[in-house]
Amino acid sequence: MKKQVSSKIVVLVFSVLVVCFAIGFYTFAAWQEPTQTQPEGNVDAPLNVGSKEQTKSGNLVVNALGVSAFGNALLVPNGNVGIGTKNPSQKLDVVGNIVASGTICDSTGCIGDGGGGTYVSVWVAISSNGTVAFTHNLGTSDLSVTILFKPSSTGPISIALASEVGGMLYGVSVHEITNTQIKVSSGTGPIYYWKAGGSYGTTNSGYVKVLVRAMN
């Protein structure tokens, strides 16, 4: 007995085919082929491990998902950065020489003024009969040293005054110079310092800062 296909089934199949064709047509029509070869064209080139040189005009944030550079060229919020080493042990670990046009600073002071051979310390507290050591690491003891002094954190700043009277040291002066360190000491008496107008003041404590330049 020969079966006949229902006209309703034929209409349903035809309708499905029409809908599928319409969807395919509009999808194809909506897609636009890139006008240039990728990735240098419409899409930014991804950073990769290839040997080709890459230039990035935007900021780069490393090892910190969700962190914005906010105008900084490079941020590495986590981990260490190594130059010349695969195993950096510090935030910046450099194996080799460093050439800087400015200063290199740590918590104790700065080395370099564009030409090298200088050291500028931070302000350090000192009191009567006290000694402060500054690490300069300039590699020589042939140094020109200027000591700045201020009786309080707000000043006034002056050149340190030192004098010896009756075998006693008053003020602040250089106590010792080595290839890596400078020691500044105050006398057993009050610390003398210059004031405006050429007069001097005295105090039992204050702050010192050294300005150092290598002479050779």
Domains and CATH numbers, the chain: 58-97 (no CATH), 105-214 (2.60.40.10)
pLDDT for res 132:
92
pLDDT per residue, tens digit, the chain (216 aa), is 555 556 666 666 667 676 676 666 555 555 566 666 655 555 666 676 677 777 777 677 766 666 665 666 677 778 888 888 888 888 888 888 777 666 677 766 666 643 458 888 889 999 888 899 998 888 888 888 888 888 888 888 887 777 665 555 667 888 899 988 899 988 777 888 877 777 888 888 999 999 888 886
- E strand or H helix that includes residue 12: helix 7-30
Alpha carbon 79 to its chain centroid, in Å, reads: 14
Specify burial of residue 160 (Cβ count, 10 A radius: 0-12, 13-18, 19+). Answer: buried
The C-alpha atoms of residue 56 and residue 69 are separated, in whole angstroms, by 14
The C-alpha atoms of residue 80 and residue 94 are separated, in whole angstroms, by 11
pTM of the full structure: 0.52
pLDDT for res 63:
64
The C-alpha atoms of residue 6 and residue 20 are separated, in whole angstroms, by 22
